[in-house]
Amino acid sequence: MIDFAARYDPQAFHIDPDAARKSVFGGLIASGWHTGAVSMRLIVDHYLSRVASLGSLGVDELRWLKPVRPGDELSIRVTVLQARRSQSKPDRGIVRSLVEVINQNREVVMSRTAVNIVRCRMAT
């Protein structure tokens, strides 16, 4: 967590335990970008199809809701909000989903809406 922040988001409350204790957070917290990277790994390992995933059109409404602290255990919850077949490329679908990152206390620490492209079976 500290190594990631030192490299990509070197704010004191991410990298310096003494400064972090004196901050509004009262201790070290993960960079939101680190939380996003960890959640992406969980999405790839446990949600995206290795057969059907064709990438993403982007992310909307990214929110860091609670600090992630050293030792926190994170999981994801994905809720499909919309799924439709592409009109211009009917072999593909567009899936819009809410991704929530949850800590060991079942608190949502980060959320985002993702838009993914997936391979579709052709209608027979």
pLDDT at 121: 85
Tell me which residue has tokens 């838009």.
Answer: 115
| Structural domain harbouring 85 | 2-119
CB burial class (10 A; 0-12, 13-18, 19+) of residue 85? middle
Residue-wise pLDDT tens digits, 6-61: 999 999 999 999 999 999 999 999 999 999 999 999 999 999 988 899 999 999 99
Q: Which CATH number do you get for residue 19? A: 3.10.129.10
Give percent of the chain with pLDDT exceeding 90.
Answer: 93
Residue-wise pLDDT tens digits, 61-97: 999 999 999 999 999 999 999 999 998 998 999 999 9
Other Cβ atoms closer than 10 A to 78: 16
pLDDT at 124 over 60: no
- Tell me if 97 is assigned to some domain: yes
Strand ranges inside the chain, DSSP E = 53-64, 75-85, 92-102, 108-119
- Tell me if 124 is assigned to some domain: no
- Tell me if 29 is assigned to some domain: yes
- Tell me if 10 is assigned to some domain: yes
Number of domains in the chain: 1
- Tell me if 49 is assigned to some domain: yes
- Tell me if 24 is assigned to some domain: yes
- Tell me if 71 is assigned to some domain: yes
Q: What share of the chain is helix, strand, coil (3-state, %, to 5)?
A: 25, 35, 35
- Tell me if 41 is assigned to some domain: yes
